[in-house]
A and B are shown apart, each in its own frame.
Chain A
Amino acid sequence: MKKFEYIEAEDLEDLLSILWDFKNEARVIAGGTDLLSIFKDQYLLSYPKLVVNAKPVKELDYVYIEGGILKIGALTRLSTLLSHPLVIEKFPIIKEAIMTIATPQIRNVGTVGGNLCQDIRCWYYRYPARLGGPLICLRKGGKTCLAIRGDNRYHALIGKRCYAVCPSDLAIVLCCLNAEIIVVKKKNQRKLDVQSLYTPLGLSLQPDEIVKEIQVPCNYGFRQRFIKFTIRRPIDFAVLSLAGQLKFEKKDLSKWIITFGGISYRPEVVVVTKYFQKNEKTVEKLLEEIVRSVLVKAKPLTKNAYKIPLLKGLSRKLIHSLM
């Protein structure tokens, strides 16, 4: 384990000033379920000296609806969200997704902010020091992506230099629900859509910024559904994940929002508005749209082309379950 110093933030203001003062030398810890493994494996080239515990900042632990928007504090634990009456009643898709995330033990400490900001799972990137790491791939400033010539079966179909996929299932669902992310730092606040939190080589956050709140509009669809394909049933990251919602705009004019995880560094989105007929023709049209707007960008690596037919099959299943 890489050594670190530890302090507890007293409140949000204190947390933001510590991050402001220390910049790259400090890192927020929420549940620690991801951060401690980063310190254990020592796979990064440099480590912050200071870990700031954000958990005592109780003002970021909440779930409520205000003005037609579900507001979730970044320090809300996954298990709290899972059993929250507002989520169960209005956003079953969030519950469906959290049920598939990790284990009860991890959901009891892991937070919403930590889930969105967790580090990627590429096995070259995470190659631990005790086995001879760290490996210096492109994401760490090296020349090449080691996955391109290596075992890339779980890597992205749409790559931009790095082929690691967004590991957060919550991101896929929140993107489908059109959520926005409130990011704060000392003296500044900004709003991002879920896709913009991720860039091909890491999060779009500055070292002194944190995710403060997630805002999910309550004009959710008529039906919502989450599908995750994994190798093991419990405790596994997604090979592919899909979230979908079907809304009715006007009589019979339907809007389909479908997001995909496991294919790129961020959730990928397809939105289709069309007159609704409950038949195979609709299914085929939507599938064509998915191919036209998302799969067209796919450039499979040596071992992950199987994700294309898998994605089509799962999309068909998703569309059927939404109809």
Chain B
Amino acid sequence: MKREIKFKLNGEEVTAEVESHWTLLYFLREVLKLKGTKEGCGYGECGACTVVIDKMAVNSCLFPVMEVNGKDVLTIEGISGPGEALHPLQKAFIEEGAVQCGFCTPGMIMSAYALFEEKKNPDDEDIKEAIEGNLCRCTGYVKIIDAINAAKRGK
């Protein structure tokens, strides 16, 4: 049975018809065609599907779409400010060489984004903790931590 939900997606109000059993990830990728958010495992293990809901990093693959009703959802497509091509985190990831295949990158950036929402000046330990739920098979994480630090300095 289709149900109606209303929520804020990347700053804009969205009203949509959804099936109760969909995950938020399915809705974003397959219905709205927002393909920035990735599906790695589908079970909360890799973090490729990370989005920010009400300022917190969440796995969209394990989040019922019905539950975003009334909430504020941010995906990689919506983090850059008005008139800004890329968010400082995105720029820093490129400049520091923190992107290789790029599959983990949107999730990494959303986790880092949520960290900055919570702490303006995180140290290396905070950064490592914040990306603990994000797997990267390519970079070895060092460049990713460098990029998050660079974005912090640039803020």
Contact = CB atoms under 8 A, between A and B. Distances in A.
Interface stretch (B7-15, B63-71, B72-80, B91-99): B63-71
B58 interface: yes
Given A104-B133, A106-B133, A33 B67 contact: no
Given A102-B133, A104-B129, A105-B50, A6 B44 contact: no
Contacts of B59: 33, 103, 105-106, 109
Given A102-B44, A103-B44, A33 B62 contact: yes
Interface residues of B, number: 28
A5 interface: yes
B63 A40 contact: no
Contact of A6 (B21, B45, B47, B129): B21
B3 to A, nearest CB: 7
Contacts of B23: 1, 36
Nearest to A236: B45
A29 interface: yes
Interface string A2-31: 111110100000000000000000000100
Nearest to A79: B56
B132 interface: yes
A37 B44 contact: yes
Interface in A272-289: none
A103 B20 contact: no
7 contacts: A5-B1, A29-B64, A36-B23, A40-B43, A51-B20, A104-B133, A105-B47
Interface of A: 1-6, 8, 29, 32-33, 36-37, 39-40, 51, 53, 55, 79, 102-106, 108-109, 234-235
